[in-house]
Chains A and B, each alone.
Chain A
């Protein structure tokens, strides 16, 4: 299994509070991704990174920001959480092939916004 961890694994928070999710990898992979997974929608890309300090938006980036100061860490921040951001969040990594390379997923973070 690829060395990917996510923290926290579960979180309950209130509307309007900031939330940061962490993804940590030990594979030294260049590409990292944040997805959300909701019933009826499947996996949707929020943001991705193609290197330290290089990030770009995915299809559902509104309300989310990311940072990557080290190869191994990719942070996802909800500046002011809303109930619509209740979801399961997955981090993924891929090698030099980028998006056409196999993506390996972390265990996920279940976030509930009340």
Chain B
């Protein structure tokens, strides 16, 4: 079967660090996407991991372990504008399968 799991909601404080985990099970796995979606808006691309390891892009980093079917998105120096949903998505040869998203709340 195919399945993507991520926490439904998380809360963190402005200036802190938060890690959003994602586990996946899917055949024909090619890579792992992370998207950000603000309320009422379209998803926007954050990162794509194909190989194992950590990729850093400014305040955001994404990690992948193919053997464990596991990824995480790390957000540093949290800002209020980071309040959004974060979507984990597994890429297969024929399609992308999205998780249900993690809603991140940032407290001042």
Shortest Cβ distance from residue B88 to the other chain A in the assembled complex, whole angstroms: 10
Q: Which residue of B lies closest to A6 (CB)?
A: B42
Q: Contact between A107 and B42 (Cβ–Cβ < 8 Å)?
A: yes
Q: Contact between A104 and B92 (Cβ–Cβ < 8 Å)?
A: no
Q: Contact between B87 and A99 (Cβ–Cβ < 8 Å)?
A: no
Q: A40-B100, A43-B87, A102-B33 are in contact. Are A58 and B42 (CB under 8 A)?
A: no
Q: Once bound together, how far apart are the Cα atoms of A41 and B86, in whole Å? A: 14
Q: Contact between B43 and A90 (Cβ–Cβ < 8 Å)?
A: yes
A34 adjacent to chain B (CB < 8 Å): no
Looking at chain A, what size class is its interface with the partner chain?
10 to 19
Chain A, range 84-114, C-beta contacts under 8 Å to B: 90, 99-100, 102-108
Shortest Cβ distance from residue A42 to the other chain B in the assembled complex, whole angstroms: 4
Contacts of A42 in B (CB 8 A): 87, 98-101
Q: Once bound together, how far apart are the Cα atoms of A41 and B100, in whole Å? A: 6
Q: Once bound together, how far apart are the Cα atoms of A106 and B95, in whole Å? A: 18
Interface residues of B (CB under 8 A from A): 30-31, 33, 41-45, 48, 87, 89, 91-96, 98-101
Additional A-B contact list (17), CB under 8 Å, known A42-B100, A102-B45, A105-B44: A40-B100, A41-B100, A42-B101, A43-B43, A43-B87, A43-B98, A44-B98, A45-B96, A58-B95, A99-B91, A99-B95, A99-B96, A100-B91, A100-B92, A103-B96, A105-B42, A108-B42
